[in-house]
């Protein structure tokens, strides 16, 4: 049992504290009742788990680019057009899946050296998406029917590994930190679009769609015509690039200074 004097002193102190609470401006004020935390509730607890794994959509597939050597594991030392051409030549009759390209797109890629103005390979971008301290190569490929292929390549062991490949009706592509965010037009829900964030996964050694959501969009006052057309890439650029924009490095040239990657705008008509 505590001494009676201590109890009285404690009671006086409590009374003084309570009297001072909220007595003047700036004092503590009640925020109201705290809502009760509601945890997740499992539905159908007796439902048996699936016995077969889900269908593989190829999100974790990686592939070595044949015949491409990367000096000092620097992706800026390789020609992005030559990288895509090497993949096309390795699988010339593949028109679906992660390597799939339209036949006319594959033919145009083969002619990029002689017809750079019609080359479907767009300006490359560079960003450290894996967290290894080196940039990865981000390539966009324009295809018919407003389809755009987005591929990401990792330099390792003196070669190039493709760690991401997807094709869709892309509205635009954005870089957010180490995430690659792809916005896609929604064909079935007018006024909405799909937004997928692709992130590096160490265990799978590839980029995975870690966040997928459907979001509501507001119509732009300027319309899709205000979106700038992406600059095409040729193996040997004939005109200097605008200041501050990343450009492909010619094979064998010295690595370029790091250039911050910017969003890759891709024009597309709004979904009907």
> Which is it for strands 136-142 and 148-156: parallel, antiparallel or unpaired?
antiparallel
Nearest alpha-carbon partner for 266 in 181, 152, 161, 176: 181
Least-confidence region, from 9-18, 109-118, 214-223: 9-18
Most confident region among 57-71, 127-141, 242-256 by mean pLDDT = 127-141
Instruction: Pull the structure tokens for residue 104.
Output: 């006319």
Q: Please give the average per-residue pLDDT across 152-174, as a whole number.
A: 94
Q: Got the DSSP string for 209-272?
A: EEEEEEEE-PPPSS-GGGSPPPPB--SS-SSPPPTT---PPPTTPPPPPP-----EE---PPP-
The rounded percent of the chain whose pLDDT value lies above 90 is 46
Comparison of pLDDT for 240 and 81, the residue scoring more = 81
What is the pLDDT at residue 79? 96
> If you search the block for the tokens 């492909």, which residue do you land on?
248
The residue extents of the domains of the chain are: 63-239
Q: Is pLDDT at 118 greater than 60 in this prediction?
A: yes
Report the chain's mean pLDDT, rounded to a whole number: 76
Q: Is pLDDT at 100 greater than 50 in this prediction?
A: yes
pLDDT in tens, 198-232: 999 999 999 999 999 999 987 655 544 333 333 33
What is the pLDDT at residue 157? 93
pTM of the model: 0.65
């Amino acid at each position: 049992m505590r001494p009676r004097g201590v109890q009285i002193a404690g009671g006086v102190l409590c009374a003084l504290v309570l009297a001072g609470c909220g007595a003047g401006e700036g004092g503590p004020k009640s925020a109201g009742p705290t809502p009760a935390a509601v945890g997740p509730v499992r539905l159908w607890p007796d439902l048996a788990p699936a016995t077969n794994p889900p269908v593989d959509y190829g999100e974790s597939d990686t592939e070595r680019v044949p015949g491409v050597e990367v000096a000092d594991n620097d992706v800026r030392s390789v020609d992005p057009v030559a990288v895509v051409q090497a993949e096309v030549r390795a699988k010339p009759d593949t028109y679906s899946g992660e390597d799939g390209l339209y036949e006319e797109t594959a033919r145009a890629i083969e002619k990029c050296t002689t017809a750079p103005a019609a080359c479907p390979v767009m300006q490359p971008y560079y960003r450290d998406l894996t967290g290894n301290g080196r940039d990865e190569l981000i390539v966009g490929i324009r295809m018919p029917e407003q389809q755009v292929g987005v591929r990401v390549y990792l330099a390792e062991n003196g070669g190039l590994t493709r760690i991401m490949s997807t094709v869709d009706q892309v509205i635009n592509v954005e870089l957010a930190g180490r995430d690659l965010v792809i916005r896609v037009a929604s064909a079935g829900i007018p006024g909405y679009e799909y937004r997928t964030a692709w992130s590096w996964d160490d265990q799978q050694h590839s980029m995975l769609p870690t966040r997928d959501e459907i979001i509501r969009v507001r119509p732009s006052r300027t319309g899709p015509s205000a979106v700038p057309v992406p600059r095409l890439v040729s193996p040997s650029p004939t005109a200097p690039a605008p200041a501050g924009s990343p450009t492909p490095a010619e094979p064998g040239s010295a690595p370029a200074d790091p250039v911050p990657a910017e969003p890759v705008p891709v024009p597309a008509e709004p979904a009907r």
